[in-house]
Structure 1
Amino acid sequence: MRLKPEDSAKVAAAIRAAEAGTDGEISAIVSPVSDSYADIVLQWSAIVALFPLALVAAWPSLLLKAVSPVIGWEAPSLRILLSLLTIACVILFAIARFVIGLPSVRMAITPRAIKERRVRARAIMLFRAGTEQRTLSKTGVLLYLSLAEHRAEIVADAAIHSKAPQEAWGEAMAALIEAMRDNRPGDGVAAAVERIGAVLATHFPYTGTDPNELPDRLIEL
């Protein structure tokens, strides 16, 4: 799923239109992925690598049957058996590390709860770095979309959160999700921005006293 150049223009126009009716600031960020999930890859690779040990522990005779074509009829020593078992584990780990490291596989095997937490953590980090510190009146809202996880988050400044709780962004998230299902991320972000602007206009209507402190454009990481 990718954004097209016209999507950026569409979102920028939506931000300008939404901010015309409010003193609040809207920032929209799209990221291809929120985390490398390297720990998940290593965990699953280790589990796969331990499979020969578990198999031999359950059925010891399988190891002898597996190595007999390699070493012949001579009874193998314990050192040889353990060495071959170690080599098998290392090979399996390397194969699993490569396969599970593929983006599509990595995303498929990562639990949904973990993806949700890490997308949320990345959204909060970006909000604190690029939105929270740049609005003097503490009226900034970040719409964050992570494409690989198919997850989005809305993070609001303290002044906004006190008047508009997390439930207030339900329509914005619904509009984004509906468009994402049709593979229209640009339309989804623009629609979500429009609804975020409606919430802000209700609680923080435009007064003309609050300067435009955030760029009116889609930020692609």
Structure 2
Amino acid sequence: MADSLFTADEHQRIADAVAEAERQTAGEIVPYVVARSGQYDVATWKAASGGALLAALFALAFAYFYDGWGLGWLYTGWAMVLVMTLGGTLGALLALIEPVRRWLAGSDRMAQQVHRRASMAFLDEEVFDTRDRTGILLFVSLMEHRIEVLGDTGINAKVEPEDWVEVVALMRDGIRSGDLAGGMVRGIGKCGELLHRRGVEIREDDTDELHDGVRVREE
């Protein structure tokens, strides 16, 4: 995934966008993309148990209304176990489909997991380690269809949470149109404009404290 999500040219475009945005602000922008923020095993269990229950109900209904002799085995205990096992297996396989998995995992659980994963990335990449605490993480979690912006204290002192709406919207529009790299480039550019407008001023002796490239992880 890390080798195929972006081409070499797209990696360079994103790094160039970060460098350009940082020419007008003291902000240190860290773009970060993960395939998913969690496994959501609860979705598999929900799907498996639901599939087993539905299979059992179907088998019981069929056995109740069927008048023939050919399927008498459905009345046996081992047959019900087999039917429920097959239904549970089918349900678990359906949970591998991303839209199904998102639905079963639930919006609240995914939001919590993405925030937790973004917080880990903030620490792992040492976004806090800048002179004026002006690091900012642009975090994209693809499976969950979620984007988080985490700023350090120097950013949060001047930028309100609602100010990031347009940055997030540009990135999301790019993802929806199949142009993840382009969406990130536009979002990064808007981030630079916002930080400059909000007074996160660049110093004369400013240096590039965090490298400009996009970080890509499996999870």
TM over 0.5: yes
Give the conservation status (yes or no) of the 8 Å contact 2:95–2:101.
yes
Secondary structure, counterpart of 1:134 in structure 2: coil
Q: 1:21 to 1:71 in 2, by over 3 A?
A: same
RMSD between aligned residues? 2.9
**Partner in structure 1 of residue 17 of structure 2:** 14
**Partner in structure 2 of residue 218 of structure 1:** 214
Supply the AA of the counterpart residue of 1:215: H
**Partner in structure 1 of residue 70 of structure 2:** 69
Secondary structure, counterpart of 1:29 in structure 2: strand
Secondary structure, counterpart of 1:143 in structure 2: strand
Secondary structure, counterpart of 2:46 in structure 1: helix
Q: 1:68 to 1:42 in 2, by over 3 A?
A: farther
**Partner in structure 2 of residue 183 of structure 1:** 178
Distance in 1, matches of 2:120 and 2:147, equals 14
**How far off is 1:71 after superposition?**
4.7
The answer to whether structure 1 residue 118 and structure 2 residue 121 are counterparts is no
**How far off is 1:9 after superposition?**
0.9
Q: TM-score, normalised by structure 1?
A: 0.81
The answer to whether structure 1 residue 27 and structure 2 residue 15 are counterparts is no
Distance in 1, matches of 2:175 and 2:98, equals 19
**How far off is 1:53 after superposition?**
4.2
Distance in 2, matches of 1:46 and 1:200, equals 49
Give the conservation status (yes or no) of the 8 Å contact 1:131–1:141.
no
- Specify which of 189, 206, 217 is matched with residue 202 of structure 2: 206
Aligned residues: 213
Q: 1:142 to 1:67 in 2, by over 3 A?
A: farther
Deviations 1:102-146 (A, max 9, x none): 445434654344433332322222112213443343211000112
Q: 1:182 to 1:23 in 2, by over 3 A?
A: same
Secondary structure, counterpart of 1:86 in structure 2: helix
Distance in 1, matches of 2:59 and 2:68, equals 12
Supply the AA of the counterpart residue of 1:125: M
**Partner in structure 2 of residue 196 of structure 1:** 191
**Partner in structure 1 of residue 46 of structure 2:** 43
Q: Which 10-residue stretch deviates more, 1-10 or 105-114?
A: 105-114
Q: If you compute each CA radius of gyration, which structure gives the higher value, 1 or 2?
A: 1
Higher helix residue share: 1
Provide structure 2 residue ranges, at least 5 long, that are not aligned to the other structure.
Answer: none
The answer to whether structure 1 residue 149 and structure 2 residue 144 are counterparts is yes
**How far off is 1:64 after superposition?**
8.7
The answer to whether structure 1 residue 83 and structure 2 residue 78 are counterparts is yes
Provide structure 1 residue ranges, at least 5 long, that are not aligned to the other structure.
Answer: none
**How far off is 1:16 after superposition?**
0.5
Q: 1:69 to 1:174 in 2, by over 3 A?
A: same
Distance in 1, matches of 2:67 and 2:26, equals 72
Distance in 2, matches of 1:6 and 1:113, equals 36
Deviations 1:47-82 (A, max 9, x none): 11122444577x5x836949952457xxx9xxx733
